[in-house]
Amino acid sequence: MGNEETEDPDAGLLGQEMSKEREEGFGPKELEPLPSRGLSVAPVCSFRLSRLSSWRVHVGLVSHSTVRPHQGALVERIIAHPLYSAQTHDYDVALLQLRTPLHFSDTVGAVCLPAEDQDFPRGSQCWVSGWGHTDPSHTHSSDMLQDTMVPLLSTQLCNSSCVYSGALTPRMLCAGYLDGRADACQGDSGGPLVCLDGGTWRLVGVVSWGHGCAEPNHPGVYAKIAEFLDWIHDTTQVD
């Protein structure tokens, strides 16, 4: 998280986040468990040139210093969206199938997908979280899970000439502040953007790309999960 962030996240919100790590020692990424057996969603870019056996998934973490070697769930299969573009970051989602199902508890749970045709209006206050850099000049990830509130912005604004000049596709959304006060940062890829719907947290976006972090006129860009519901349901065979 760049600029404003907190280190004492609400367990009811951020306990839904999982961490996946390469056994070779690469830094952590984030993914979100879905309400079905052993499935989660993540960005495609995290898995380029990766061996399946090199990934383990850890749940219920607030600090990476508590991770024990060779613990965590193994990944059975990675399903990248077939239309993913590395050049434009379009269709930047992937599904992970775990070898064993997760066991939910008071600190581990599934985040809900958005409802069909559900559209959170611009200005909605949502939350993004991750273990990424807390300063763009730093090259190491945070040991503590960070979170920050960011408002949803309109695609028209984010595609304007003073922001991203038309780079956002219908599969993307942006959230953050034009003054750069808070944002996701390097290492937060795959982190959840969740919005409160009544008493239910919905997975509205997944951290995808941006220009630096917490830079003025460059809010974070996210994969828009509502645009992938049919693909998720068809791939997982879960309604």
Q: Which amino acid is at 159?
A: N
pTM of the model: 0.84
Q: Which two tokens stand for residue 115?
A: 């409802």
* Cα 141 to Cα 78: distance, rounded to the nearest angstrom: 24
Neighbours of 172 (CB within 10 A): 24
**Higher-scoring residue by pLDDT: 237, 50:** 237
Residues 40-63, mean pLDDT to the nearest whole number: 71
Domains and CATH numbers, the chain: 2-11+111-226 (2.40.10.10), 15-108+229-236 (2.40.10.10)
- Give residue 43's pLDDT band: very low, low, confident or very high (50, 70, 90): low
- Give residue 232's pLDDT band: very low, low, confident or very high (50, 70, 90): very high
pLDDT tens digits, one per residue of 99-111: 988 888 888 888 9
Give me the pLDDT at residue 56, please: 83
**Cβ neighbours of residue 45 closer than 8 Å, sequence gap 6 or more:** 86, 89, 92, 189, 208
The DSSP line for the chain is -EES-BSS--HHHHTT-EEEEETT-PPPEEEEE-SSTTEEEE-GGGGTT--GGGEEEEES-SBGGG--TT-SEEEEEEEE-TT--TTT-TT--EEEEESS-----SS--PPBPPPTT--PPTT-EEEEEES--SSTT--S--SB-EEEEEEEE-HHHHTSTTTTTT---TTEEEES-TT-SEE--TT-TT-EEEEEETTEEEEEEEEEE-SSSSBTTB-EEEEEGGGGHHHHHHHHT--
Give me the pLDDT at residue 167, please: 98
- Give residue 143's pLDDT band: very low, low, confident or very high (50, 70, 90): confident
